[in-house]
């Protein structure tokens, strides 16, 4: 199958690109190469005859049309998005323009392409989204595909809007779509602005490790390569018009996650004092959701998928990868916003 993957130089998108090429799919990687994109993320596949790259912004409809015509993809996997909650608090306009207007443009380009091709039943538009659209949970319960939307940040509101657009294009125009909502991803090639890479790199540099509030916020952690596997499965076997929640089945408090990373660094890159001594509690993010947890029953029962990597094993792999790949992360430290506290409102 020939796939058009948007955001394929980002964290999750590049994992999809690498896995899709490894499985024999042709891949057209469409990426605007904004601050979090990195060509090095897909360096392992750039010389494959299955891979091609188009630098383009999904806010530019004319360019999207120009790309669809010659490549004629059989499916779209839409991962391009502004995705950092803290950045959405500081500058929501980019999130509205990319995540909402950009998704609208991509839907329209994909629909026009689908019509030109004779509306093939095999075509798919796979929209990849987040569990943050569901809001915040209390101490118990899990998000299901029937959980009402209750976004709390500019980021999650923009993703909720994009989800609704995709469903509307399916209902109104018959566009063949599938949707997924995932929990928090982590793993290799993660841009150093999120909790896990920030913890690793700050610890390595002897800098304070910031933990929001008291560190009691809980997330369900999904290893990115497991996520890529699930996304390709939904694309190939998911029921049209259906959404699937993808979780790691690994709930952890932020403070426990950070302490686990520090213990791994004490083992793999020991220093005279424990890395956990660097943990510093900082003012919480405005509107910080207390807990996310995914009920993965649908994708497990209908498609037979479960995560293969526990959070303990995934964190060990991730820490090892960052220790072994300084040449990847060091140039990123100079990018705008890296190392700064964002999202104070």
Structural contact between residues 131 and 243, judged by C-beta atoms closer than 8 angstroms: no
Residues in the chain: 345
CB atoms within 10 A of CB 303: 16
Cα–Cα distance between 279 and 261 in angstroms, integer? 11
Which tokens go with 154?
């500019």
Catalytic, out of 51, 86, 155, 292? 155
Query: Catalytic site residue 51?
Result: no
What is the DSSP annotation of 84-131? Answer: -HHHHHH-HHHHIIIIIIIHHHHHHHHHHHHHHTT--TT-EEEEEEEG
Query: Catalytic site residue 163?
Result: no
Structural contact between residues 165 and 104, judged by C-beta atoms closer than 8 angstroms: yes
Catalytic, out of 26, 131, 289, 295? 131
Alpha helices in the chain (DSSP H): 11-22, 61-71, 85-90, 92-95, 103-116, 154-173, 195-204, 224-237, 254-268, 297-303, 311-324, 326-329
Query: Catalytic site residue 193?
Result: no
Cα–Cα distance between 143 and 161 in angstroms, integer? 18
Catalytic, out of 31, 82, 86, 132? 132
Cα–Cα distance between 312 and 257 in angstroms, integer? 9
Catalytic residue set: 131-132, 155
């Amino acid at each position: 199958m020939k796939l058009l993957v948007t955001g394929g130089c980002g964290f999750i998108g590049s994992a999809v690109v690498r896995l899709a090429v490894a499985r024999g799919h042709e891949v057209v990687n469409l990426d605007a190469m904004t601050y979090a994109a990195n060509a090095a993320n897909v360096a392992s596949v750039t010389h494959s005859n299955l891979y091609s790259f188009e630098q383009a912004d999904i806010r530019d409809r004319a360019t999207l049309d120009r790309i669809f015509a010659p490549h004629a993809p059989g499916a779209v996997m839409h991962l391009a998005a502004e995705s950092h909650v803290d950045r959405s608090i500081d500058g929501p306009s980019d999130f509205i323009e990319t995540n909402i207007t950009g998704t609208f443009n991509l839907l329209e380009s994909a629909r026009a392409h689908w019509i030109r091709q004779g509306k093939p039943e095999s075509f798919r538009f796979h929209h990849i989204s987040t569990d943050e659209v569901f809001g915040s949970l209390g101490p118990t319960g899990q998000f299901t595909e029937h959980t009402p939307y209750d976004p709390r940040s500019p980021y999650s509101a923009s993703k909720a809007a994009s989800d609704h657009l995709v469903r509307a294009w399916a209902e109104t125009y018959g566009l063949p779509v599938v949707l997924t909502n995932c929990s928090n991803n982590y793993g290799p090639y993660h841009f150093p602005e999120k909790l896990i890479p920030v913890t690793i790199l700050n610890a390595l540099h002897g800098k304070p490790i910031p933990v929001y509030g008291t560190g009691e916020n809980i997330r369900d952690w999904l290893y990115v390569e497991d996520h890529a596997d699930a996304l390709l499965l939904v694309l190939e076997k998911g029921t049209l018009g259906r959404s699937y929640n993808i979780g790691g089945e690994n709930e952890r408090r932020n403070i426990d996650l950070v302490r686990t990373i520090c213990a791994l660094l004490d083992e793999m890159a020991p220093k005279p004092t424990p890395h956990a001594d660097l943990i510093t509690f900082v003012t919480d993010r405005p509107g910080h959701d207390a807990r996310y947890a995914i009920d993965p029953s649908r994708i497990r029962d209908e498609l037979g998928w479960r995560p293969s990597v526990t959070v303990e094993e995934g964190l060990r792999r991730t820490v090892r990868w960052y220790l072994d790949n300084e040449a990847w992360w060091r140039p990123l430290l100079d990018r705008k916003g890296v190392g700064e506290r964002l999202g104070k409102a």
